């Protein structure tokens, strides 16, 4: 009988002893917090809840107040058995505020390649743990977008494949990509999700098309597929320029397969001839060609018309006039047989008559038709011993030191008074004299009359600005 009474007395709590501490009743995840747990995609945060068997007493941080309310409570241990689900704070100690039965905590997850169950445990010091399973899931494709729905052929669009989580590692998540019309829009065969990213991007390169072309771009991952329409518009004819014997056409995008044939026509084929078409090569956006100019002796402006896909543009070609500088005799001087300048022959020996040729009128803008040579006609009467005169006539060829190359002229050993400018007065170019051997005069006072004519056919003396003929009498002293 004594033994039974002692046991009963020992089981009765002592008067004034503190109540027993609550224990963890459950730990759960999800909107419905059940011990069975829930699931979260790797890379997302999971919010867990600890439920106690009763209100938390003040065991830790007692006497601490925030906004007038007690801030202490009771710590609960929370741990994870897999690093892909990391409990926060990293100490694994979650404070349940005093008087509260529940408290939430955060778990940071990492990417996984396959569904991964993680055991989460929660317990109060000295009491058994409660556990739940948090399923960390691999990412799924959730969306697919393009940065633009319409592009001009030859430009690049950009696609974005979106996932609801991160991959276990770079390249672990690979979506396939396809185009319904690879000739118009090219895409990579697949695109991989980079580590710690939820969006994978790629380029969509377009090619030239002859007309507006609809294309469907599709991204797929596992059992999910997303498709987005893309319109590839044909490039438009946007620019046409001409001048200085060249024309150029430009599109705002790439020319289609086979090229873009820009139809051409000239307002005056007799002055400017053009081919039937200027072709911009496939994949290119512009091209240029030379036109053939047929200038005459007047200035002209000829309009060239270009047409492509119903768009017409025009460009003007300005033709400068052909200009033939005037050949003229600048001066005639005499020299003795030793090359010394003289005004009159001093004896019966032969002498030299030196003729300087000049080009007059080279200040205008135009196509200069400089002569490279000419003929100097020499006509004179020489006295004889009987007092009669004998006539002589011959031509002296003169070559001008002018070099033509690529449409430009170089004057070798020429003396110039200016060169062609837009505002100068008529300029002159002259060359070193050409000397002709003349027979001596037989006696003092005898003379000969000489007529010099340059370019007697007047082929290059179009404007008649200069003197083609020069007459003089040479008398022996």
In angstroms, what CA-CA distances link 305 with 135, 247, 286? 72, 11, 16
Give pLDDT, residue 16: 57
Domain count, the chain: 4
Q: Is the pLDDT of residue 446 over 90?
A: no
| Token representation of residue 389 | 């005169």
**Order of strands across the sheet with 373-383?**
389-399, 373-383, 447-454, 469-475
What is the b/e burial string over 427-461, where b = at least 16 CB atoms within 10 angstroms of the residue's CB?
bbbbbebebbebeebeeeebbbebebbbbeeeebb
User: CA 433, CA 435: separation in Å to the nearest integer?
Assistant: 6
In angstroms, what CA-CA distances link 204 with 148, 214, 231, 233? 11, 14, 12, 14
**pLDDT tens sequence across 378-432:** 998 876 555 556 788 888 888 877 554 444 444 444 444 334 444 444 456 777 8
User: CA 188, CA 216: separation in Å to the nearest integer?
Assistant: 14
For 191, the domain range is: 141-233
| Token representation of residue 450 | 């000489």
**pLDDT tens sequence across 237-285:** 999 999 989 999 999 999 999 999 999 999 999 999 999 999 999 999 9
Nearest partner of 268 among 303, 228, 312, 231, judged by Cα: 303
Nearest partner of 161 among 149, 148, 179, 173, judged by Cα: 173
DSSP string, 200-214: EEEEEEE---SS-EE
Give pLDDT, residue 31: 57
User: CA 56, CA 21: separation in Å to the nearest integer?
Assistant: 8
Collapsing DSSP states into helix, strand and coil, what is residue 70? Answer: strand
Give pLDDT, residue 155: 97
| Token representation of residue 227 | 């498709």
Domain CATH for 420: 2.60.40.10
- Torsion sign across C-alpha atoms 191, 197, 198, 203: negative
**pLDDT tens sequence across 272-319:** 999 999 999 999 999 999 999 999 888 999 999 999 999 999 999 999
Same domain, 359 and 407: yes
Q: Is the pLDDT of residue 467 over 80?
A: no
- Torsion sign across C-alpha atoms 131, 137, 143, 144: positive
Strand partners, 340: none
- Torsion sign across C-alpha atoms 37, 38, 42, 48: negative
Q: What is the average pLDDT score of the chain?
A: 85
Same domain, 371 and 463: yes
**pLDDT tens sequence across 135-147:** 999 999 999 999 9
| Token representation of residue 125 | 């010091």
Collapsing DSSP states into helix, strand and coil, what is residue 10? Answer: helix
pTM above 0.75, yes or no: no
Mean pLDDT, range 340-360, rounded to an integer: 90
Give pLDDT, residue 71: 79
∠163-164-168 over CA atoms, to 5°? 80
Domain CATH for 275: 2.60.40
Same domain, 40 and 61: yes
The contacts of residue 244 (CB under 8 Å, 6+ apart) are: none
| Token representation of residue 412 | 């070798």
Same domain, 328 and 459: yes
Residue 130, domain member (yes or no): yes
Same domain, 330 and 454: yes
**pLDDT tens sequence across 199-208:** 999 999 999 9
Final residue in a domain of this structure, among 218, 233, 248: 233
Neighbouring C-beta atoms of residue 376, cutoff 10 Å:
21
User: CA 219, CA 179: separation in Å to the nearest integer?
Assistant: 9
Q: pLDDT confidence of 65, banded at 50, 70, 90?
A: confident
Residue 11, domain member (yes or no): no
Residue length, the chain?
A: 477
Same domain, 332 and 439: yes
Give pLDDT, residue 391: 82
Final residue in a domain of this structure, among 268, 290, 319: 319
Same domain, 129 and 173: no
- Helices H, strands E: what count in the chain? 1, 43
């Amino acid at each position: 009988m004594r033994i039974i009474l002692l046991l009963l007395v020992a089981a009765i709590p002592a008067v004034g002893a503190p109540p027993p501490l609550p224990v963890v009743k459950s730990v759960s995840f999800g909107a419905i917090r059940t011990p069975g747990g829930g699931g979260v995609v790797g890379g997302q945060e999971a919010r867990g809840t600890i439920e106690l068997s009763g209100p938390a007493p003040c065991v830790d941080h007692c006497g601490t107040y925030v906004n007038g309310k007690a801030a202490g409570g009771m710590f609960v241990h929370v741990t994870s058995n897999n690093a892909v689900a990391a409990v926060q704070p990293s100490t694994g100690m979650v404070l349940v505020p005093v008087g509260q039965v529940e408290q939430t905590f955060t778990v940071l997850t990492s990417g996984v390649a396959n569904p991964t169950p993680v055991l989460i445990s929660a317990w109060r010091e000295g009491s058994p743990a409660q556990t739940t399973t948090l399923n960390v899931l691999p990412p799924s494709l959730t969306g697919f977008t393009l940065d633009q729905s319409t592009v001009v052929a030859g430009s690049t669009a950009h696609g974005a494949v979106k996932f609801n989580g991160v991959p276990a590692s770079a390249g672990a998540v690979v979506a396939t990509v396809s185009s319904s019309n690879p000739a118009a829009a090219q895409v990579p065969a697949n695109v991989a999700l980079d580590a710690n990213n939820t969006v994978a991007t790629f380029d969509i390169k377009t090619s030239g098309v002859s007309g507006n072309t609809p294309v469907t771009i599709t991204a797929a991952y596992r059992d999910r597929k997303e498709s987005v329409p893309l319109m590839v518009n044909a490039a438009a004819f946007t620019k046409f320029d001409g001048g200085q014997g060249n024309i150029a056409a430009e599109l705002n995008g790439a020319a289609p397969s086979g090229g873009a044939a820009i139809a051409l026509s000239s307002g005056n084929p007799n002055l400017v001839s053009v081919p039937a078409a200027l072709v911009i090569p496939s994949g290119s956006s512009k091209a240029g060609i030379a036109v053939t100019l047929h200038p005459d002796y007047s200035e002209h402006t000829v309009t060239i018309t270009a047409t492509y896909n119903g768009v017409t543009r025009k460009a003007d070609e300005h033709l400068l006039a052909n200009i033939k500088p005037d050949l003229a005799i600048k001066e005639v001087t005499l020299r003795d047989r030793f090359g010394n300048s003289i005004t009159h022959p001093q004896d019966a020996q032969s002498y030299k008559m030196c003729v300087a040729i000049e080009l007059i009128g080279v200040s205008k803008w135009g196509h200069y038709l400089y002569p490279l040579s000419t003929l100097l006609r020499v006509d004179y009467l020489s006295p004889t011993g009987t007092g009669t005169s004998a006539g002589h006539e011959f031509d002296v060829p003169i070559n001008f030191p002018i070099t033509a190359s690529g449409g430009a002229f170089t004057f070798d050993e020429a003396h110039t008074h200016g060169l062609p400018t837009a505002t100068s007065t008529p300029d002159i170019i002259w060359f070193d004299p050409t000397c002709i051997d003349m027979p001596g005069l037989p006696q003092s006072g005898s003379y000969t009359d000489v007529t010099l004519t340059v370019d007697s056919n007047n082929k290059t003396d179009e404007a008649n600005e200069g003197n083609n003929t020069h007459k003089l009498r040479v008398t022996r002293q």
